[in-house]
Amino acid sequence: MCRVYSTILMVETEDKARGLQELPVRLLRMNTGRQAVQCLRQENVDTVISRWDLVDMPDGLLLKRILAARPKMPTIALIQAGNQRQEILARSLGVTAIVSEDIDSSFFRRLICEPLHIEDFAAMTMPAMTGAD
C-alpha cells in the first residue's frame, strides 16, 4: 500500500488533477466553491489548488475565504493565461503560488511535488538529459 503524503483539495481543476493521480497524495476534487467550503469543514486538507474565477465564487473569493480562516494554508491559484489583473490580485492576497492555466502538465506535477516533498516517480523513470553521449 502506498503512503499518502498529503491531502490536496482541487477546485474546478479536473484537467490538472489527472496529472497528479499517480502521486502519493489524496486528491479531493470539487466542482464549485460551495462544495469546496463544505469539504474543508469535513476533511483534513493540507493544500488547496483552485481556479481564481469559480462559477459561484468569482474574483478569488474562495481563496480569500480560505486564507481569512486559515492564513497558513498552502494555496495555489490557477489563473487565466496572460491575465495580469488576476495575477496581481492573487499576489496581493498572499497565495502560496500562482500558476497559469496553460502550464505544461509535467511542470505542474513538479510544482506540486517540490513544496510537499514528494518524489515525482514519473520524472524519475524518464532518462536524464545530459550533454554527453
Longest dimension (CA), the chain: 54
The cell for 37 is: 467550503
* pLDDT, tens only, 83-99: 999 999 999 999 999 99
The pLDDT score that the predictor gives to residue 72 is 94
- CATH 3.40.50.300 is held by the domain 6-124: no
* pLDDT, tens only, 62-83: 999 999 999 999 999 999 999 9
Asked if residues 47 and 76 have their Cβ atoms less than 8 Å apart, the reply is yes
Asked if residues 50 and 77 have their Cβ atoms less than 8 Å apart, the reply is yes
